[in-house]
Chains A and B, each alone.
Chain A
Amino acid sequence: MITAKKVSKHYSKKIALDQINLNIPKGSIYGLLGPNGAGKTSFIRIMNQITAPDTGAVYFDNSPLQPSDIARIGYLPEERGLYKKMKVGEQVLYLAKLKGLTASQAKERARMWFERLDMVSFWDKKVEDLSKGMAQKVQFVTTVLHEPELLIFDEPFTGFDPINTNLIKKEIKRLNSEGATVVFSTHRMESVEEICDHIGLINNGKVMVEGALLDIRKHYKNGTYSIVTSEPFDYQGDALVYNDVSHTGFSYVLKLDEYPTKLVVDLAAKGILVGFEEILPTVSDIFIDIVENGPKA
């Protein structure tokens, strides 16, 4: 859907993006992850054609970005808001028309969304009279109303209350299943791990790692295994990271150089094996690993 080739952007002396290459596959839910100031927002603004890259190019469906593409993108910026003195309905229609919808299309879709998210009563209210949660719903509707093929959310869950967060996660998943490509940008990596299928990790304007989340986690696995048994077993060695007893049994976390086939088979033969799992690193683990040790070949 989006391909960035050697995209660079600098502001006076500060380099925001340094020759980054990214590929956001069609139909994916893509997590653009990295600490504050890594360059995520800079890249998002380039995708939205708010700024242009200094060098390099961004391709939308294999052709270079062009002004008409903004109608195909729905963008919820990190710094977001609405005209406080304007009525909700009017404002939603205005923003939709700016995205190229006709008045009647905008009206029809707005009605549909207002009913779906149970906000019909907002229509004639001024934004300043809405609660924060209500305004967040309106903001979400303005982002998706023109049925964009690409949805970009910058720090979507900061400032959203938990109820809205869940509601919106649900709606985003639905939109994704209907074909929309979704990009989440956040520094809170754990918050999107469960819904993203692809990620790109950015730090200091460079892409550290990018690809399908599962592949990356497998690639960065470090031989950590969890074993749960019904009876304690005697394990000697440095490999033990952690052990604990709970109502489910005796659990052990081991760090091993090899896959523990023999151990598992033995425990199973003894009839005490309750569970075995290879623990894949979380995205934040991977990020810390990369920042400390550099990308793994």
Chain B
Amino acid sequence: MNSPILLIIQREFLTRVRKKTFLLVTLIAPVLFAALMIVPGLLASMPEDHKSIVVLDQPSLLIPEEGTEQYALDYLNPGEFDLELAKDFLRNSEKDALLYIPSGEGWDPDFIRKNILLYGKEDISIELQRFVENLLEDRINKQKLLRQGVDPEVVEQAKTFVSIKSFTLGEDDASEETSATPLKMGLGYIAGMLIYFFIFFYSVQVMRGVIEEKTSRIVEVIISSVRPYQLMLGKILGIGLVGVVQFLIWIILCTTIYGVVSTFIFPDLLAQSAGAPGMGAPDMGDVAGLQIFDMIRSINFPLVLGGFAFYFFGGYFLYSALFAALGSAIDQEADSQQFMLPVTAPMIIAIVTAMNVIQEPNGPLAFWMSMFPLTSPISMMIRLPFGIPIWQVLLSGAILIATFFAVVGLAGKIYRVGILMYGKKVTWKELYKWLKY
């Protein structure tokens, strides 16, 4: 245990893991995360907001529709009420809203359609408006069809819904894969976000650690015992280890919490909320059972998991070396802003373009983003579940590794000079000069 790098890793790791904030964040994050999964389900199951709507239906368009449990419809007698009287009625009643359907001249559906009014005691919710609109559209459609002499029943029966089973063509029939786009999108997005979060959170800690050593003035004491690159590397590895441990604890805790909650506390609830985000895939119900299994099988998990580990660490090492160099160049964290932005910009761009990459995982944007080393850990990770030509994965990995070594070399040079510079406002030009010291 006396190798300097190991000693440094040990110190970096232990001082962080023993902090109270580490314990706090490690325990609270999964609770928040679990809440994030459970709360939408809870909300969806909350009792609905009941509204009762009074309808002045002059053309008898809706009668005798009674509405739903949520929106109950009651009718005023068109013989006794006009719009003004109906409004007065609403004012003096318990009802929540008034729907006015005029008959117009000669029962013209197009006139009716344009002149329907909805009054509410409070603001009309979008949901209520949509309910009324859908109802009316349906009725007016039917009336129009009837007027053309078409039986709405026939039209209803003629409506067709097409559900395509998509495959990814393989070398032979056996390797044909059920296309699992929604699942892949989710997987790629979540993995990409995790990497983004990990890189951001822990690389910044590396920078903080470097600044701490500088401001506390211990750094020169340390580097009279170990080489600067050993200190830098030890710090990066030690903090990376903290991150890995924290992630592992989170995974274990989340799975446990999710498991406990789903089996014992709200078994029905989670079934609902898990089914709800159907990723826009229509009518998953029919195909779900068998196909989900096929879909999962269609994803190359060894590649995705391997890729995740690779980009997770590759991205972290690359960025943390950059952040270490940054930290060495500045005296106070407050000065870090002007240097942070150019370094973090690629990562932010990768996250902002994540949706475009998901929608077209083999498009030019996705390709270039997954080659450029500062965005590839996120962008390539998002693409990976979709099955990427292997040469692209290898090329992107090679570029990332090569850049890592180049950056560590350069960052090491800046770091070596920077940690011994005190009380100097550093410019980009100055950093460039340090490379040549």
Give chain A's interface residues, CB within 8 Å of chain B. 11-12, 45, 48-50, 67, 70-71, 73, 75-77, 79-86, 94-95, 97-100, 102-103, 142
With A81-B218, A86-B15 given, name 4 new contacts (CB 8 A): A75-B221, A76-B221, A82-B216, A82-B221
**Is A84 a contact partner of B224 (Cβ separation < 8 A)?**
no
Contact residues in A for B4 (Cβ distance below 8 Å): 98
Contact residues in A for B213 (Cβ distance below 8 Å): 83
Closest Cβ of chain B to A129, distance in Å, is: 14
Binary contact track B47-73/A, C-beta < 8 Å → 1, others 0: 000000000000000000000000000
Contact residues in A for B1 (Cβ distance below 8 Å): 103
Chain B interface size, as a band, is 20 to 34
**Is B220 a contact partner of A95 (Cβ separation < 8 A)?**
no
Instruction: Check if B349 is an interface residue, CB within 8 A of chain A.
Output: no
Contact residues in A for B422 (Cβ distance below 8 Å): 79
Kindly state the separation between the CA atoms of A45 and B223 in the bound complex, as whole angstroms: 10
Kindly state the separation between the CA atoms of A233 and B135 in the bound complex, as whole angstroms: 129
**Is A97 a contact partner of B2 (Cβ separation < 8 A)?**
yes
Closest Cβ of chain B to A103, distance in Å, is: 8
Kindly state the separation between the CA atoms of A11 and B216 in the bound complex, as whole angstroms: 25
Contact residues in A for B223 (Cβ distance below 8 Å): 50
**Is A99 a contact partner of B225 (Cβ separation < 8 A)?**
yes
Contact residues in B for A98 (Cβ distance below 8 Å): 4, 7-8, 222, 225-226
Closest Cβ of chain A to B223, distance in Å, is: 5
Contact residues in B for A81 (Cβ distance below 8 Å): 216-218, 221
Closest Cβ of chain A to B218, distance in Å, is: 5
Closest CB pairs A-B (n = 8):
A81-B217, A77-B220, A98-B225, A75-B224, A81-B216, A48-B224, A81-B218, A79-B217
Asked, given contacts A77-B224, A95-B225, whether A82 binds B436 with beta carbons under 8 Å apart, the answer is no
Instruction: Check if B420 is an interface residue, CB within 8 A of chain A.
Output: yes
Asked, given contacts A79-B217, A79-B422, whether A100 binds B224 with beta carbons under 8 Å apart, the answer is no
Give chain B's interface residues, CB within 8 Å of chain A. 1-2, 4, 7-8, 11, 15, 212-213, 216-218, 220-228, 420, 422, 433, 436-437
Asked, given contacts A73-B224, A98-B222, whether A50 binds B420 with beta carbons under 8 Å apart, the answer is yes
Asked, given contacts A85-B15, A86-B15, whether A94 binds B224 with beta carbons under 8 Å apart, the answer is no
Contact residues in A for B227 (Cβ distance below 8 Å): 67
Closest Cβ of chain A to B232, distance in Å, is: 14
**Is A11 a contact partner of B437 (Cβ separation < 8 A)?**
yes
User: What are 19 sample pairs from A and B whose C-beta atoms fall under 8 A apart?
Assistant: A48-B224, A50-B220, A50-B224, A50-B228, A67-B227, A70-B224, A73-B224, A75-B220, A75-B224, A77-B217, A77-B221, A80-B221, A82-B221, A83-B212, A83-B213, A83-B216, A97-B2, A99-B225, A100-B2
**Is A84 a contact partner of B437 (Cβ separation < 8 A)?**
no
